[in-house]
Amino acid sequence: MRRFTLLLLGAALIAGLGFVIDAQSRVRVDRPAGPLGPRLIYAPGRVEGATPEIELRPRLSGLIKEALVREGQFVEQGAVLLCQDDEQHRYEVELAAADLALANAELERLVNGARPEEIAEAAALWRAKSAELESARLSLDRFEELLKTNAISRQTADDQRALVAAFTGQAEAAKARLDRLEAPAREEDVRIAQARAQAAAARLALAKVQLDRTVLRAPIRGQILEVDVEAGELAGPDSPRPAVILADTTRFRVRAFVEEIDAPRVQIGMACKVTVDGLPDRRLNGRVAEITPRMSHKELWSDRPGERLDTKTREAWIDLEPASDLVVGLRVDVTIDPQVAGLGAEALPPSEEIESNETPHPVLEPLAHAASEQR
């Protein structure tokens, strides 16, 4: 019994010691007590161009024939970036163009009617058949008179009647052909021919569109950030990685990810200071230019203790002063001053430091201090 009691006391002592160690090792996080929280807003951010990165993929699946750009190159809007094998599409364009020419020719012939030579030929044939018919009728009249006196057989007279009937049909067919050649085109026939020509024109336009899609062009003026294809590779709209990544880097912006505790206080026009680990002696001026109207899942993490309190952030786009030594995708730290707000498109403030004697952020300030000591 005594041994059992000692075991219980030992287990309780170990559990209590573990609880004390765990409590002392935790990072204490105090949420702001006041309704406005700390004065300064701290947020991680990422350098972007004047536009976000644009991921480009070929619009058709096919072999890459040639990549015409390299990483770091500046291109104008509409410049050709990639060319795919287009042999099949060029032949399809030629075939569609031939079909359109044939349809237009048929329509033109229908509207213009028969040629004068064809009409003259039909008229001559009708006159010839009419003359044969007249000769056969005269012979039949004579045979009828001779039949009355039994000078010819009845069979001979019947054969002559059949010959007259045959010549009559031939003459009527010749006259109908002549009338058809001389008559204007029927309205419904013209509409049918026009529809065929329009369909052929549409097929040609579609073939040209498909041919144009074998060429990947720059949608904006900007800088090539990445080229991920080589000649001979198969690429298309469903490729897992974009063939080319493009962005406008004529000026830089910062996309800051403000956590939920500070998201309601961010406003357009607030002054900002941006620091970069690779430029420890510089602080770039900026101003909040855009704010997303909703919270989104957090995209940027610094893996610092106590950071993962908020899983959603509000994105704020910050216009920076001109700087040529920034790189798209570079991670930065942003300090936003809520008291300098509502200035809109006024000039950026001078490079003096934001006063830091106000209430620090309860989580990020100790962490930033520890990080600077480690550096």
Structure tokens at 13: 């002592």
Has residue 31 got a pLDDT over 90?
Answer: no
| Residue 358 in domain | yes
Contact criterion met (CB below 8 Å) for 258 and 313: yes
Whether residue 235 is found in the same domain as residue 281: no
Contact criterion met (CB below 8 Å) for 56 and 246: yes
Whether residue 79 is found in the same domain as residue 98: no
Top-confidence residue, 114 or 154: 154
- Rg (C-alpha) for the chain, rounded Å, is 45
pLDDT of amino acid 207? 97
% the chain with pLDDT above 90 = 41
Whether residue 224 is found in the same domain as residue 301: no
Domain count, the chain: 3
Domain that holds residue 307: 31-50+251-374
Q: For the residues 166-195, what does the mean pLDDT come to? A: 86
From 275, 277, 252, select the one nearest 351 (Cα to Cα).
275
Tell me which DSSP letter residue 305 carries: T
% the chain with pLDDT above 70 = 79
Give the pTM.
0.62
Has residue 312 got a pLDDT over 80?
Answer: yes
Long-range contacts at 64-71 (CB < 8 A, ≥ 24 apart): 64/229, 64/230, 64/231, 64/232, 64/233, 64/234, 64/235, 64/243, 65/231, 66/231, 67/227, 67/229, 67/230, 67/231, 69/224, 69/227, 69/244, 70/224, 70/227, 71/224, 71/225, 71/226, 71/227
The 10s digit of each residue's pLDDT in 57-81 is 999 999 999 999 999 999 999 999 9
Q: For the residues 297-311, what does the mean pLDDT come to? A: 61
Contact criterion met (CB below 8 Å) for 129 and 169: no
Contacts of 253 (CB under 8 A, 6+ apart): 47, 48, 49, 50, 289, 317, 318, 319, 320
d(CA 224, CA 245): 6
Whether residue 202 is found in the same domain as residue 170: yes
Whether residue 77 is found in the same domain as residue 225: yes
The 10s digit of each residue's pLDDT in 247-290 is 998 889 999 999 888 889 999 999 999 998 888 888 889 999 99
Q: For the residues 187-213, what does the mean pLDDT come to? A: 95
Q: Beta strands 222-227 and 41-49: pairing type? A: unpaired
Q: For the residues 314-329, what does the mean pLDDT come to? A: 87
pLDDT of amino acid 261? 86
Contacts of 362 (CB under 8 A, 6+ apart): 29, 30, 31, 32, 38
Has residue 298 got a pLDDT over 90?
Answer: no
| Residue 2 in domain | no
pLDDT band for position 116 (cuts 50, 70, 90): confident
From 295, 107, 98, select the one nearest 207 (Cα to Cα).
98
Whether residue 309 is found in the same domain as residue 352: yes
pLDDT band for position 25 (cuts 50, 70, 90): low
Has residue 362 got a pLDDT over 80?
Answer: no
Longest CA pairwise span in the chain (Å): 163
Whether residue 96 is found in the same domain as residue 190: yes
Contact criterion met (CB below 8 Å) for 47 and 334: no
Top-confidence residue, 102 or 303: 102
CA 22-24-30 angle, to 5 degrees, is 110
Has residue 5 got a pLDDT over 80?
Answer: no
Q: For the residues 328-357, what does the mean pLDDT come to? A: 63
Distances in Å between the alpha carbon of 172 and those of 109, 125, 221?
25, 11, 74
Q: How many Cβ atoms from other residues are within 10 Å of residue 128's Cβ? A: 13
Whether residue 362 is found in the same domain as residue 278: yes
Whether residue 310 is found in the same domain as residue 337: yes
From 113, 112, 108, 99, select the one nearest 194 (Cα to Cα).
108
Task: Give the amino acid at 109.
Answer: R
Has residue 244 got a pLDDT over 90?
Answer: yes
pLDDT of amino acid 101? 96
Q: How many Cβ atoms from other residues are within 10 Å of residue 123's Cβ? A: 16
For residue 75, give the CATH number of its domain. Answer: 2.40.50.100
pLDDT band for position 197 (cuts 50, 70, 90): very high
| Residue 295 in domain | yes
